[in-house]
Amino acid sequence: MSIKFRAVALAVGAIAMIGVGSAHAEEAVVKSVKNGTATISYHAQGKGPLVLLIASTGRGTEEFGQLAERLAQRGYRVLRPEPRGIGGSHGPMQGVSFHDFAKDFAAVIRNEGDKAILAGHAYGNWIARTIASDHPELARGVVLVAAGAKSWPKELSEAITMINDPASSREQRLEGLRLAFFAQGSDPEPWLEGWNQAVTKSQRAARKLTNRDDWWAGGTVPMLDLQGGVDPFRPAASRNELKQEFGDRVTVKVIDNASHALPAEKPIETANAIADWADTLKE
């Protein structure tokens, strides 16, 4: 092979490789849907069975970017709806319950035309379970991403309140993030931003207006209880709480060296754990 021909061949090969890579790097598109007087904005990317990601208290889904991209690479269509009050999502924020938030995200799933795996991070796992309970026809399974135990120390909830408070100093908020959300060695600084005090207030009020028995079981679909190995909201003694209650419906998976900010700390590991489990579902 001549030097000139070899150079051309290498160039063509490089272009082909770039084309293959870009095919796997599909960007998310922004869509929206109405639920009564509420408008819910969401990102959608990938092709395949639906996975809907729900953010934790007072936060949006921007931090799920790497997680969503990896799930899309694994063959799933990933939906990231923003809660009321964040991004392009808006609607009544007072006098609402988990059932209202569940209707918001059920509208997103219906807009996509199929059932979904409902993956809720921290507070979001309660909404995922509400969707599965209220709208069983839309649920293939539920993933609890860093769900808290049945009870946890009051200081952890107080840390969330403090982190949300604009009057708190940077150092106070970093201390709260290290206490409640991030494992030793993880960088909590990205989470100094992205908190919405009004959304947190609305979501906490919604919890008080919702009967726990309405959503606790998460319907009847399979459930993945995905835990951070050093999550203070989920100490080792509580590992099998849900499995003991719901039996073979529940699969427990622990990701080491991760805390309550699990999908931000370990996005690839979290995505792979969700996809590995989702790949086993029959429907």
Determine the pLDDT at residue 8: 36
What's the pLDDT at 206? 98
Contact 255, 226 (CB under 8 A): yes
Q: Give pLDDT, residue 26.
A: 74
pLDDT of residue 244: 97
pTM, two decimals, is 0.90
| Alpha-carbon 204 to chain mean position | 18
Cβ-based burial of 202 (10 A; exposed 0-12, middle 13-18, buried ≥19): buried
The pLDDT score that the predictor gives to residue 197 is: 94
Write down the pLDDT at residue 142: 98
Walking along the chain (283 residues) 10 residues at a time, the average pLDDT comes out as 38 36 67 98 98 97 96 98 98 98 98 97 98 98 97 93 93 96 96 95 97 97 98 96 97 97 97 98 83
φ and ψ at 227, to 5 degrees? -120, 150
> What domains, with CATH codes, occur in the chain?
29-152+197-279 (3.40.50.1820)
Convert the pLDDT of each residue in 248-280 to its tens digit: 999 999 999 999 999 999 999 999 999 999 999
- Please give the pLDDT value at position 25: 52
| pLDDT at position 17 | 34
Per-residue pLDDT at 282 = 83
Alpha carbon separation from 72 to 15, 53, 61, 64, 78 (Å, rounded): 23, 12, 15, 12, 6
Amino acid identity, position 103 = K
- Is the separation of the CB atoms in 225 and 148 below 8 Å? no
